[in-house]
Amino acid sequence: MPPNNTLPSSRRAVFRSGIQAGIPIGLGYFAVSFSLGIAAKDVGLSPVQGFLLSALGNASAGEYAVLTLIAANATYLELALMTLIANARYLLMSCALSQRMSPDLPLRHRLLVGFYITDELFAIAIARPGNLDPFYSYGAISVAAPCWAFGTALGVIAGNSLPPALASAFSVAIYGMFLAIIIPAARGDRAVALLVLVSFAASAVCSALPILNAIPTGTQTILLTVLIGAAGAILFPIQEEAEGETEATSS
């Protein structure tokens, strides 16, 4: 990515616009990643390892899933599979953004934008009219990425220096983040609420029954994610009206 002072004036303006959009995102990332750092400390990660986890992972749910598997002594294969499953939605976001890029956009820009796709950065990029300007994404990333990575590292440091009771209290914040994701979706869709309850119940059953409890925790998480997600897609498909039917009705 070229330094800001070497960019043409139009690109500097787009870059600054991306920075402005990225500031509130970065502040939110810092708060969440700090709690993630507390969780990383609990599984034995150092500040440098926590920093690299967030600098290279770029996904709160995916990183927390990885930390959960690390705590369960999961294998590398289980970590890789869970990361792929938890972050699969970014493949769809990448495809959507690729359709908004100019055909002449060099591959290096496509790779850089694709490396750092998150829900929030995708939302602000896809909302802009016209072709996607990579320098807008670079501006937002230049704020959001350091906040996310350094927030995790500082969370690990704080977890090592805070009293155990206080560090444990901070670690609860990461669960609050997931509740903030789950509850609005569950309130707005009964199918989602049902699947959430089924997930809780299935996880409890796997922990209680001796036969299922013998399965490694990482494998349990992967199997439940795939099976419940597939069941939800089959039983509660999203109904979308075809474009042809819409045009026929309007005509």
**pLDDT tens readout for residues 46-79:** 999 999 999 988 887 788 888 888 888 888 888 8
Q: What's the pLDDT at 98?
A: 87
pLDDT confidence of residue 192: 80
Which DSSP letter does residue 100 get? T
Angle of helix 217-235 versus helix 190-208 axis, rounded to 10:
150
Q: How many CB atoms are closer than 10 A to CB 102?
A: 12
Give me the percent of the chain exceeding a pLDDT of 90.
Answer: 19
Tell me what pLDDT residue 2 has. 46
- Coil, strand, or helix at residue 226? helix
Q: How confident is the model at residue 243 (pLDDT cuts 50, 70, 90)?
A: very low
Report pLDDT for 15. Answer: 93
Binned at pLDDT 50, 70 and 90, residue 215 comes out as confident
Task: Tell me what the mean pLDDT of segment 238-251 comes to.
Answer: 48
pLDDT per position as a tens digit, 84-115? 887 877 887 888 888 888 889 899 999 999 88
**What is the predicted pLDDT for the residue at 175?**
61
pLDDT in tens, 151-207: 999 999 988 777 766 666 665 655 665 666 567 767 778 888 888 888 888 888 887
Cα-to-chain-centroid distance, residue 105: 26
Mean pLDDT score of the chain: 80
* Confidence category of residue 145, pLDDT binned at 50, 70, 90: very high
Is residue 14 predicted with pLDDT exceeding 80?
A: yes
Residue 247 phi, psi dihedral angles, 5° rounding: -65, -40
Residue 212: C-alpha distances to residues 202, 221, 223, 242 (Å): 10, 12, 11, 43
Residue 45: band (very low, low, confident or very high) from pLDDT cuts 50, 70, 90:
very high
Least confident range of 65-69, 142-146, 223-227, 235-239? 235-239
Instruction: Give the pLDDT confidence score for residue 139 in this predicted structure.
Output: 94
What's the CA gap between 133 and 126, in Å, rounded? 10
State how far the Cα of 137 lies from the Cα of 112, in Å rounded to an integer.
9
Helices 164-171 and 173-188: angle between axes, nearest 10 degrees: 20
Single out the residue of 166, 165, 124 nearest to residue 141, CA to CA.
124
Hey, where are the domains in the chain? 4-170, 189-237
Residue 223 has pLDDT above 80, yes or no: no
Q: Please state which of the ranges 32-36, 170-174, 212-216, 226-230 shows the lowest mean pLDDT.
A: 170-174
pLDDT value at position 245?
A: 44
* Per-residue pLDDT, 247: 46
Give residue 4's pLDDT band: very low, low, confident or very high (50, 70, 90): very low
